[in-house]
Each structure stands twice: as C-alpha cells, then as structure tokens.
C-alpha cells in the first residue's frame, strides 16, 4: 500500500474486511511515524519510507497506489521495473498526456493494471448498470452525476501543480466515468462545455464546476462538482432513457437518519458535525464501492481478463477533464482530444421514436384525467403537428 492518507485507510479497510484472504503486507509513507502507526492499526508486517523499497519488497505481488496525483507516474514506472501488478487510484494522472505515457508504458510492459474508480462499483450503480444493459431504460439519452462536499482532507489536493486542478479533477473524474458507464464506454465523447470558478476558498484551483459532455450518438452527460457544499457528501446520479429513468442517492438521505444531542464520534466521510440530525452510513467501504472494486480487480487477475475499469478508461477520463479546463478558459465548446480511441466507430444517433399511427409519426401518447387518450402526431409530408383524442377504457 503506497500512501497512508484517507484513501489508503479506506483501501486497507476494504482489503482487510470480512475475514479477507487479501492482506496488505507492506505500507509506504514518506513519514516514518505515519507508516508505523498505520501498520500497527492494520496489523501490517512491514513499513518503508522509500517508495522503490516498498514496491520491490518481497512480501507483496500487487502494488496499490493511494498517493497524490503528481506521484502516480513515478510509482507506476517503479512497478513496471519491479514487474508487479499495479492498481492506481483516481485520477490516473494530472493530464491526458501524462495518462497516455502511463498507459503506453504499462501496456508495453505487460503487467496487470487496474483503475481504482470506486464510484462505478457502488452497489446501487452496479444494479442500475445491469438494468440499463438489460434494456430497462431503452436507449440512454442523458446522464447527470453530482459530487459535492466541503473539500478534500489533505493539503496537496488544494495545490494545482500537485493535483492538476481542483474540484473538476478531484470529483469530476468520478462523475465522468459514471456517465461513460451509463451511456456506454464504447461511445466516443466528442466535446465539452464547462464552467468553473473559485467561489469560496483562497486557492488557485477551482472549487466549483459544471460541465456538459456531448457523445457521438447524441447522448449528453452532465456533471456538477463542488468543494463548497455544506452538510456532508452529496453523491447522486440520474439516468434518462427512451423507456425509463433511474435516480440514485448514494450517501445522503438513504434511509439511515439519527438525532444526537451529544458528540457521538465519526459519522461518515465528509460529515461536518457530530450532533443534531445525522446521516450515518452502515458499511462505508461497501457503499462507496471499494469492496466490489477490489473483488473485480483480483478476480480479473485470477481469470486472466481485464477488470471493468482499466488504465485506458483513466486515460479517456483525463482527456475529458483536459477538454473541461480548455472550455473554462475559452468559454466555448472544446473537443475531447483522444490520440487513441478503442470504442465503436459505427454509432447511430439515439432517441428517434418510430411508431406510426395512420401514416403519421407518433410524438407522444398521454392519458388524460377523464380517461381519454390524447395522441400528438406529426405529418411526415408537411411537418404539421396535430392532436387526436381517443375514447378511454371507460367510454
């Protein structure tokens, strides 16, 4: 385990949970006291303050990267030199150029690599994705993903050089990959329109952002991210298709509500208070997707297949983020620049309904309060839109 911050804590909690056979055998931190304290808490045998020493340590065969963004490329190169499988936290890199170098180097080496994008592995998301792939919503037209909280825990997130940006690269990377999963990772993202600003914090990076992503099939993804949201961590997704809708709330108001007049200790990630009305999370690492994420990663290694989330996915996400930042500067739609596209090239436009009624195209069918059925119809020859009332079941 490279890193002893919040993400290293959650990763280790997930790996050691439920009597797991998978164990962290060595932990790396730049600070020896932090490494020893982390090892003591999680019963880890070995510690290191030298990254290369940790990666080459004979006790482990998989390296999990939970480090600041600017250290990912260095750590992954050391994994290649050690010929060890690597699992890297999100985002893969600070820019698409950096992500592409990482992707090319890993693929040339042949080592196993997985992209640790936990929020596409949440129980609700996995269930929703199964429903979408079975056709429950028809064709997906629009997906919205929102992540908002009061800001990251560690100082490096707030430094543009180390992180590569602000709320967009920190939170938007989650949202973009959620959007891609619902619309289809084989559908190319074409262009982005994005707004961002620094509204509250005395930093150079953005603390709020909103973006629209247009895909080749006409579907649209929308994300909202914030480091200034008060009241906990807001994780919500919405998916709209030609035949249905899904609403997901992963963290707030999900059925566990508690009032406390005293201080009850830790409640949930990014919770801002310990008294009043609280919204605890039952099994946090499971609800945030870490358990199913690592299960998929290790099963993929055992089965000789790619995991659901790969370094290529991380590269595409970085390319979309780059387009977001260009759009913020230009105030225009900006293309998503992908040097390497591995998805479909035969994409048809979504959403066209083809139901005909008496030679006219059906626009909408609606049941009125009196039981009658109203049809909105379009004449294909003239373009005229008309309506027709039909008797209901009670007439």
- CATH value at residue 151: 3.30.360.10
Residue 347 in domain:
no
Please count the other Cβ atoms lying within 10 Å of the Cβ belonging to residue 154. 14
By DSSP bridging, strand 220-226 and strand 140-148 are parallel
Q: Is residue 96 part of a domain?
A: no
Answer yes or no: do 73 and 165 share one domain: no
Residue the block writes with tokens 């009597």? 19
Residue 250 and residue 326 share a domain = yes
Annotate 123-136 with DSSP letters as a single string.
Answer: HHHHHHHHHHHTTT
Mean pLDDT, rounded, for 383-392: 91
pLDDT at 395: 47
At 26, which CATH number? Answer: 3.40.50.720
Residues 83 and 125 occupy one common structural domain: no
Asked whether residue 173 is domain-assigned, the answer is yes
Nearest to residue 258, comparing CAs of 284, 235, 281? Answer: 281
Split into its structural domains, the chain has a count of 3
How far apart are the C-alpha atoms of 147 and 159, rounded to whole Å?
20
**Do both 79 and 136 map to the same domain?**
no
Q: Is residue 36 part of a domain?
A: yes
Question: Would you call the peptide bond into 91 cis, given omega within 30 degrees of 0 as the criterion?
Answer: yes
- pLDDT, one tens digit per residue, over 79-132 is 999 999 999 999 999 999 999 999 999 999 999 999 999 999 999 999 999 999
Question: Residue 309 half-sphere exposure, CB side, CA atoms within 13 Å?
Answer: 33
Same-domain check for residues 241 and 191: yes
Q: What's the domain range around 366? A: 356-390
Query: What predicted TM-score, i.e. pTM, was given to this entire model?
Result: 0.92
- Tell me: do 61 and 131 sit in the same domain: no
| 289: in domain | no
CA distance 108 to 311: 13
Run of H or E residues at 40: helix 32-42
Q: Are residues 364 and 324 in the same domain?
A: no
Q: Are residues 239 and 326 in the same domain?
A: yes
Specify whether 68 is located in the same domain as 190: no
Q: Does residue 290 form part of some domain?
A: no
Q: What is the mean pLDDT of residues 31-46?
A: 97
Last residue of a domain, one of 44, 69, 90: 90
In a domain, 1, yes or no: no
Ranges 162-171, 177-186, 209-218, 382-391: which has the least confidence: 382-391
CA 69, 156, 335: angle at the middle one, nearest 5? 50
Q: What is the pLDDT of residues 245-263, one digit of tens each?
A: 999 999 887 788 888 887 6
Please say if the pLDDT value at position 376 is more than 90: yes
Closest CA to 148 of 66, 75, 89, 236: 236
Phi then psi for residue 13, to 5 deg, are -60, -40
Same domain, 201 and 323: yes
Residues 141 and 38 in one domain: no
- Beta carbons of 224 and 238 less than 8 angstroms apart: no
In a domain, 267, yes or no: yes
Token pair 């961590």: residue: 233
Q: What residues contact residue 159 under an 8 Å CB cut-off, 6+ apart?
A: 205
Strand, coil or helix: what is 41?
Answer: helix
140 and 230 in a single domain? The answer is yes
């Amino acid at each position: 385990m490279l890193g002893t911050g919040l993400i290293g804590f959650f990763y280790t909690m997930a790996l050691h949970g439920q009597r797991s056979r998978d164990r962290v055998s060595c932990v790396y931190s730049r600070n020896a006291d932090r490494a020893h304290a982390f090892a003591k808490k999680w019963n880890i045998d070995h510690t290191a303050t030298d990254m290369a020493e940790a990666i080459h340590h004979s006790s482990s065969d998989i390296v999990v990267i939970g480090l600041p963004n600017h250290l990912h490329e260095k750590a992954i190169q050391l994994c290649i030199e050690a010929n060890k499988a690597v699992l890297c936290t999100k985002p893969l890199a600070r820019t698409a150029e950096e992500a592409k170098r990482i992707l090319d180097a890993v693929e040339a080496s042949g080592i196993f690599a997985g992209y640790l994008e936990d929020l596409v592995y949440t129980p609700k998301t996995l269930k929703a994705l199964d429903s979408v792939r079975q056709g429950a919503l028809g064709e997906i037209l629009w997906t919205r993903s929102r992540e908002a909280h009061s800001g990251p825990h560690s100082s490096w997130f707030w430094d543009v050089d180390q992180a590569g940006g602000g709320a967009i690269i920190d939170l938007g990377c989650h949202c973009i990959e959620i959007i891609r999963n619902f619309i289809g990772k084989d559908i190319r993202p074409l262009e982005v329109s994005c707004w961002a600003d620094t509204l509250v914090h005395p930093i150079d990076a953005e603390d709020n952002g909103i973006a629209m992503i247009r895909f080749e099939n006409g579907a649209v993804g929308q994300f909202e991210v914030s480091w200034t949201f008060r009241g906990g961590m807001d994780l919500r997704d919405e998916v709209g298709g030609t035949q249905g809708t899904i609403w997901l709330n992963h963290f707030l108001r999900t059925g566990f509500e508690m009032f406390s007049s005293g201080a009850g200790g830790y409640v949930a990630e990014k919770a801002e208070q310990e008294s009043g009305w609280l919204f605890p999370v039952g099994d946090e690492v499971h609800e945030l997707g870490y358990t199913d994420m690592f299960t998929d990663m290790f099963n993929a290694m055992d089965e000789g297949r790619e995991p659901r989330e790969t370094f290529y996915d991380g590269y595409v996400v970085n390319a979309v983020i780059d387009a977001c930042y260009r759009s913020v500067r230009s105030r225009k739609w900006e293309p998503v620049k992908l040097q390497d596209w591995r998805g479909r090239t035969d994409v048809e436009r979504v959403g066209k309904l083809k139901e005909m009624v008496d030679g006219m195209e059906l626009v909408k069918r609606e049941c009125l309060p009196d039981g009658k059925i109203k049809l909105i119809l379009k004449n294909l020859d003239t373009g005229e839109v008309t309506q027709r009332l039909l008797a209901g079941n009670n007439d």
